[in-house]
Amino acid sequence: MKNLGNMLKQAQEMQTRMAAMQARLEVETVEGAAGGGMVKLTLSGKGELKRVSIDPALMTADDREVLEDLLLAAHADAKQKVEAMMAEEMQKATAGMNLPAGMKLPF
């Protein structure tokens, strides 16, 4: 029963850490950029689009396809950064816990 008590205590600690992590992710932002910074997107730590910045030089009809491609590239860059930040936060939240091998959180 001692192991069960320890597991419950660890689960409660993890729940507290997860709540704190989620709160941090709501306020954190990351910026993705493409085209040498001509297009920038800001995403929240939860992946919500917060801001778009486009260099005025790209605002011509001839550059429409280029602009569309740069928006996609900037989003991919920002999304990768959000995922890395989430992985880092998750590692902090589960630090010191003896989770079974292969167990991934959140479920």
Q: 76 and 32 in contact (C-beta within 8 Å)?
A: yes
The pLDDT, as a whole number, for residue 107 is: 44
Write the single-letter amino acid at 49: L
Domains identified in the chain and CATH numbers:
2-93 (3.30.1310.10)
Q: Model-level pTM greater than 0.85?
A: no
The pLDDT assigned to 105 comes to 53
Of the listed ranges 14-28, 31-45, 52-66, 93-107, the least confidently predicted one is 93-107
Contact 52, 41 (CB under 8 A): yes
Quick one: how far is CA 93 from the chain centroid?
15
Residue 74 has pLDDT above 50, yes or no: yes
Can you give the pLDDT at residue 96?
64
